């Protein structure tokens, strides 16, 4: 028996809505086998600890022993449970506790003892309890402080431990107050602060955006609208952490620690948080609850990663964001997305009181009608206009084709993103005038790099997009190859440069490649520099085979180097040609675009 890994969730997560410690336990035999060993262990530990266990398997007994050890070492132990895995000799252990170091130490000790031929002596157990007690005390946050904050959390007070061991922050952003770990009178100072201010005054507005496609664009657009009103916005996204429009840390930063960094910044007035699957699965949420959550869509992607094997798995991940909303907050959902519409119909979202705000490019959508009848707001594309619906009132904001991001009015998925943004901004208190101004001044090439960026070259056009799953490829392919997409290019003269992430399942890679074959007559296959565990040429062969199965008439060329693939495509373009580049890392292509003097082209499409 051994622990193969442990994991700490900072906030609400896919297993619990509280901070959590998770561990994977490798057993020597299936958990429910060897009742004699279970009986012997129970007898021994009952002589050492006040155990009254009805455990029917060794992992359950292990958690009961851990609970008693935790109590004796003064470590908070809120709850614990075991879940099986597909492998009968592997199970998952979960413990709700704020004392990560002490719990993990005791867990490792207990597993070591359970694995030994001879059970530990009383002196060995006492020594472990003493060590765990020292870890609890060294955590810096006094039990009296934890108890006080636990009571206040029920009244809506947000707080978290800072990077300084034992440091505490009450509240978020500009309304937050930090207390150093070494403050001798920290309990008294916190009490004084709480006497002066109600819990709600420690908060700042938070909007959390998640979904398979569109979340980065929606995040950037919401942040742009808010910033345009003079508010200091903290934004986390796939290209970094931004405060007041300045990148303070570059990188793909959409996890809970990035959210915490923004919420710890004393200048931030609004937090706009892109909340991606990976961070949710690995460490949970970085905030307690949002004022507004946006779910753009749930589509097949990331299968084969972090235990995600199906759409249902993805739904459970995204639901964490949907469930963690303040009472009377708003959940903005895409009614046109089949998975989200199904969840809405099943009333599958948590019963925390919140407003459901749907949006759709179809004004007569069933969910839109249903929400209007219930007295709720909804947003739709009506007669080519972004429109707010409330009861019998229709408020027209602007024509969709006026927005630079819609290229212009031709990209339906960008219009859907704009509807999501409008719904979220309105829920955050923005006026329609502020939203219209923000949508009109949001420029793809400046404010949304790498997402639906169109460039003009000496000959033809180039579209660059981050799409890497079937639905994203379908949306781009449909737009690029539509007969009336744009007079600037011939929809029959469109070349696709396709590269896909190597950590997806073969079946998902094949689905993405087949989707590309439905829309593009010529496809150049490339591979990322980071193959994510694949052999060179393996991804290209999977894609090539799937394309030929889908469409024997599709012309396929393999150029593994991305920059060379782009150069080859651009050299062969005519004046009315369009090349579509699906990329993952921008750096390899930047020099090639500079070489061909690519310039933003959106303004020339009106």
**Ranges of each domain in the chain:** 2-138, 143-201, 204-447, 453-605
Whether residue 543 is predicted with pLDDT greater than 90 in this model: the reply is yes
Report pLDDT for 294: 97
pLDDT, mean over the chain: 89
Report pLDDT for 410: 61
- Asked if residues 334 and 212 have their Cβ atoms less than 8 Å apart, the reply is no
Higher pLDDT, 174 or 449: 174
Split at pLDDT 50, 70, 90, the class of 467 is: confident
Whether residue 31 is predicted with pLDDT greater than 70 in this model: the reply is no
Report pLDDT for 343: 80
178-222: pLDDT as tens digits: 987 665 678 888 899 999 999 999 999 999 999 988 899 999 999
Whether residue 529 is predicted with pLDDT greater than 50 in this model: the reply is yes
Report pLDDT for 166: 64
Residue with tokens 């960094």: 261
The architecture CATH gives domain 453-605: Alpha-Beta Complex (3.90)
**What 3-state DSSP class applies to 38?**
helix
Report pLDDT for 37: 87
Report pLDDT for 300: 67
Per-residue three-class SS string for 85-140: CCCCCEEEEEEECCCHHHHHHHHHHHHHHHHCCCCCCHHHHHHHHHHHHHHHHHCC
Split at pLDDT 50, 70, 90, the class of 233 is: very high
529: which residues sit within 8 A by CB, 6+ positions away? 562, 585, 588
Closest CA to 367 of 334, 319, 395: 334
**What 3-state DSSP class applies to 497?**
strand
Whether residue 446 is predicted with pLDDT greater than 90 in this model: the reply is no
- Asked if residues 576 and 486 have their Cβ atoms less than 8 Å apart, the reply is no
In the chain, the percentage of residues whose pLDDT exceeds 90 is: 55
- Asked if residues 10 and 282 have their Cβ atoms less than 8 Å apart, the reply is no
DSSP 308: B
- Our CA angle for 255, 261, 267, nearest 5°, is 140
Report pLDDT for 247: 95
354-377: pLDDT as tens digits: 889 999 999 899 999 998 988 889
What span, in angstroms and rounded, lies between the C-alpha atoms of 144 and 333?
Answer: 41
* Ranges 91-100, 205-214, 303-312: which has the least confidence: 303-312
340-347: long-range pairs with CB below 8 Å, 24+: 340/295, 340/297, 340/298, 341/367, 343/315, 343/319
The token pair that represents 578 in the structure block:
């369009």
Report pLDDT for 163: 67
- Asked if residues 485 and 454 have their Cβ atoms less than 8 Å apart, the reply is no
Q: Do domains 204-447 and 453-605 have the same CATH topology?
A: no
First to last CA, the chain: 66
* Ranges 250-264, 287-301, 588-602: which has the least confidence: 588-602
What span, in angstroms and rounded, lies between the C-alpha atoms of 175 and 173?
Answer: 5
Closest CA to 259 of 323, 209, 188: 209
The token pair that represents 559 in the structure block:
């150029």
500-520: pLDDT as tens digits: 999 888 999 999 999 999 999
Beta strands of 215-277 (E only): which ranges? 233-237, 240-243, 246-250, 270-274
Backbone φ and ψ of 603, nearest 5°: -65, -20
What span, in angstroms and rounded, lies between the C-alpha atoms of 291 and 273?
Answer: 12
The token pair that represents 309 in the structure block:
């094997």
Report pLDDT for 339: 85
- Asked if residues 169 and 186 have their Cβ atoms less than 8 Å apart, the reply is no
Average pLDDT over residues 331-343: 89
DSSP 395: E
Crossing angle between the packed helical segments 143-153 and 186-196, to the nearest 10 degrees: 20
Split at pLDDT 50, 70, 90, the class of 154 is: confident
Report pLDDT for 94: 97
In the chain, the percentage of residues whose pLDDT exceeds 70 is: 93
Report pLDDT for 606: 45
Determine the distance from the C-alpha atom of residue 193 to the mean position of all C-alpha atoms in its chain, rounded to a whole number.
33
Tell me the CA distances in angstroms from 34 to 31, 56, 89, 113, 475, one per residue in order. 8, 10, 13, 17, 55
Average pLDDT over residues 6-13: 91
- CATH number for 204-447: choose from 3.40.50.1860, 3.40.605.10, 3.40.1190.10, 3.90.1570.10: 3.40.1190.10
The token pair that represents 150 in the structure block:
């636990």
**What 3-state DSSP class applies to 297?**
coil
66-94: pLDDT as tens digits: 999 999 998 889 899 999 988 889 999 99
What span, in angstroms and rounded, lies between the C-alpha atoms of 215 and 420?
Answer: 10
Which contiguous run of DSSP H or E holds residue 355?
Answer: strand 354-360
Average pLDDT over residues 332-354: 79
Highest mean pLDDT among 214-228, 329-343, 447-461: 214-228
């Amino acid at each position: 028996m051994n622990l193969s890994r442990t994991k700490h969730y900072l906030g609400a997560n896919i297993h619990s809505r509280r901070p959590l410690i998770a561990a994977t336990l490798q057993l020597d035999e299936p958990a429910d086998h060897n009742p004699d060993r279970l009986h012997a262990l129970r007898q021994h530990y009952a002589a050492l600890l006040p155990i009254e266990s009805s455990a029917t398997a060794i992992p359950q007994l292990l958690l009961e022993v851990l609970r008693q050890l935790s109590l004796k070492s003064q470590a908070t132990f809120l709850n614990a449970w075991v879940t099986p895995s597909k492998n009968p000799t592997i199970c998952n252990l979960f413990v709700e506790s704020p004392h990560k170091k002490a719990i993990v130490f005791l867990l490792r000790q207990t597993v070591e003892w359970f694995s030994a031929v001879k059970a530990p002596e009383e002196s060995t157990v006492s020594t472990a309890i003493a060590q765990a007690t020292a870890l609890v005390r060294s955590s810096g946050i006094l039990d009296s402080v934890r108890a006080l904050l636990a009571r206040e959390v029920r009244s809506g007070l947000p707080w978290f431990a800072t990077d300084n061991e034992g440091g505490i922050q009450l509240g978020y952003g500009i309304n937050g107050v930090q207390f150093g770990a070494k403050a001798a009178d920290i309990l008294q100072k916190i009490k004084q602060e709480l006497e002066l201010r109600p819990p709600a005054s420690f908060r700042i507005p938070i909007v959390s955006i998640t979904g398979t496609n569109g979340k980065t664009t929606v995040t950037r657009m919401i942040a742009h609208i808010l910033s345009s009103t003079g508010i200091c916005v903290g934004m986390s996204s796939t290209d970094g952490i931004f405060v007041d429009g300045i990148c303070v840390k570059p990188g793909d930063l959409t996890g809970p620690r990035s959210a915490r960094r923004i919420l710890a910044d004393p200048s931030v007035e609004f937090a706009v948080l892109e909340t991606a699957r990976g961070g949710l699965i690995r460490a949970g949420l970085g905030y307690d609850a949002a004022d507004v959550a946006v779910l753009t869509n749930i589509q097949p992607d990331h299968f084969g990663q972090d235990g995600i094997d199906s759409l249902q798995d993805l739904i459970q991940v995204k639901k964490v964001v949907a469930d963690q909303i303040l009472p009377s907050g708003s959940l903005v959902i895409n009614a046109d997305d089949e998975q989200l519409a199904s969840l809405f119909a099943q009333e599958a979202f948590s019963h925390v009181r919140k407003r459901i705000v749907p949006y759709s490019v179809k004004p007569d959508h069933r969910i839109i009608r249903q929400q209007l009848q219930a007295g709720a707001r909804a947003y739709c594309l009506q007669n080519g206009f972004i429109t707010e619906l409330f009861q019998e009132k229709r408020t027209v904001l602007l024509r969709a084709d006026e927005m630079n991001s819609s290229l212009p009015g031709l990209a339906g998925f960008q219009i859907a993103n704009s509807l999501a943004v409008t719904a979220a901004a309105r829920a955050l208190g923005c006026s329609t005038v502020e939203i219209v101004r923000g949508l009109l001044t949001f420029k793809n090439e400046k404010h949304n790099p790498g997402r639906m960026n169109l460039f003009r070259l000496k000959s033809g056009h180039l579209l660059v997009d981050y799409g890497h799953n079937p639905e994203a490829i379908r949306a781009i392919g449909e737009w690029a190859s539509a007969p009336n997409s744009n007079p600037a290019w011939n929809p029959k003269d469109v070349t696709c440069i396709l590269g896909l992430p190597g950590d997806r399942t073969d079946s998902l890679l094949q689905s993405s490649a087949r989707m590309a074959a439905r829309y593009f007559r010529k496809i150049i296959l490339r591979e990322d520099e980071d193959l994510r565990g694949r052999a060179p040429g393996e991804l290209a062969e999977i894609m090539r085979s799937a394309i030929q199965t889908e469409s024997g008439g599709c012309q396929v060329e393999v150029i593994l180097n991305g920059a060379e693939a782009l150069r080859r495509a651009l050299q062969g373009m005519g004046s009315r040609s369009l090349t579509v580049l699906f990329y993952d890392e921008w750096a390899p292509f930047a020099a090639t675009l500079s070489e061909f003097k690519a310039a933003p082209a959106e303004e020339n499409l009106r």
